Amino acid sequence: MVSFEEAIFNSLPPDNGLYYPENIPLLDPAFIKELRSKSQSEIGLEISRHFMANELSELDLRRIVEETLSFDFPLVRIIGEIHCLELFHGPTWAFKDLGARFLSRCMQHLISKKEKNINVLVATSGDTGGAVAAGFHGVDGVNVTILFPRNKVSDLQRKQLTTWGENVMTLEVEGSFDDCQRLVKTAFLDKDLNEELSLSSANSINIARLIPQMFYYFFAFQQLQNWDNVIVSVPSGNYGNLCAGLFAKKMGLPIARFIAASNDNKAVPDYLTTGHYKPLPSIETYANAMDVGAPSNFARLLEFFEGNVQRMRSLISGFSLSDPEILKTIDHLYQKTEYILDPHGAIGFRALQETLDDGELGIFLETAHPVKFVDTVKKAIPNMPSYQSKTEEIERKKSTCMRISSSYEDFRSYLTRQAV
């Protein structure tokens, strides 16, 4: 067992596994029952303190939670019994803003105990890097290096990754997201490099990313009148959000079941069907933030269900959607309701549309604003509204990044040069 502080700064344990809570507590049923009367900060504090109270004072933890929860998480009825939890109202218009802000503020609070700077490494398929950059920009004692795959993020995502400077550096990798993730994981296992640079991560492998992602599910129920037979569809790439949902259920939230909604990178849905886990090289899709062939958090899913695929199937069903069907879904819903889905939300919505049974109420997580994927959305909705006023400020900024190969030697050389 390790402390919360050690887990968030080390990110990966020495055995190349993932940190996992020793205990996922059951909240007081009275607290669950009274969710509608609680503020979002009260909910976030109650969840967080069960994992962190031994290492942060109530006052410090309250401050971290309140600074993190600086934007809204509205639940919107879309059509019939299908609702959308909008997670894109943060600074980079993606669900990862919450986890990145929470992690950065935890690290900032704890960094004063360290004798030297922490170097945070982040692999991103699109949204994580921008959220981490926004969350950590200007944080004293923390340097951030973000790796993203060349030509595999949208233009807006690239701007959100590469326009920060100061303590945020960006590397454009000649390869896939899996290559970026491999470079980061290999660096963590490099004992000499870790001792020299004090490495940490802000990817969903970091346990401090999962804690605030539990908040989403409680916020959704806070806004619901009917809690009977609630099904949550989770667009899934690295499966951190799904793990957080499972933790929320174990803490007492009455979620009936989950859908692991994926694109053509469907190692986990295939596992649920066959019982055999076979990670594959990632496939490029319109839902690029989910282009993950070997999801890291699958290890946490196995731990949660004690390696029992039957138990996993009893609570999670798999679903996948191809690129043509993503576009069709965006178009059809817009024609019916004028609501614009992003490609990831389209997968979550379609999973509910196809599998929701009578008497069930569905919630899908809309993980990013459609403006982040405007080129893709325009393929489905050529006359979609303009978001120019929303993006013009960032579009004026100058991008700065360095291109590297996918070899670990090049990456290691870059990191050691930066440390000089």
Q: Which domains does the chain have, with CATH numbers?
A: 40-70 (no CATH), 74-90+207-385 (3.40.50.1100)
Please classify residue 202 by burial: count the beta carbons closer than 10 Å to its beta carbon, then call 0-12 exposed, 13-18 middle and 19+ buried. Answer: buried
Please answer whether residues 255 and 368 qualify as being in contact, where contact means their C-beta atoms are separated by less than 8 angstroms. Answer: no
Percent of the chain past pLDDT 70, that is, above it, reads 98
What confidence score (pLDDT) does residue 419 get? 65
For the segment 403-415, the average pLDDT, to the nearest whole number, is: 94
pLDDT score of 306 more than 60: yes
pLDDT tens, 201-245?
887 778 888 999 999 999 999 999 999 999 999 999 999 999 999
Q: Label residue 385 by pLDDT band (50, 70, 90).
A: confident
Q: What is the residue-wise DSSP string for 156-172? A: HHHHHHHS-BTTEEEEE
Distance CA 349, CA 403 (A): 36
pLDDT at position 390, please? Answer: 79
Q: In whole angstroms, what is the distance from residue 274 CA to residue 258 CA?
A: 18
Q: Chain-centre distance of CA 271, in angstroms? A: 21
With a cut of 90, say whether residue 140 has pLDDT above it: no
- pLDDT range class, residue 114, cuts 50, 70, 90: low
- Give me the pLDDT at residue 239, please: 94
Q: What is the pLDDT of residues 329-371, one digit of tens each?
A: 999 999 999 999 999 999 999 999 999 999 999 999 999 999 8
The pLDDT of residue 32: 96
**144 has which bridge partners?**
120, 168
Instruction: Give the catalytic positions in this structure.
Output: 96
Higher pLDDT, 391 or 103: 103
What pLDDT is attached to residue 236? 94
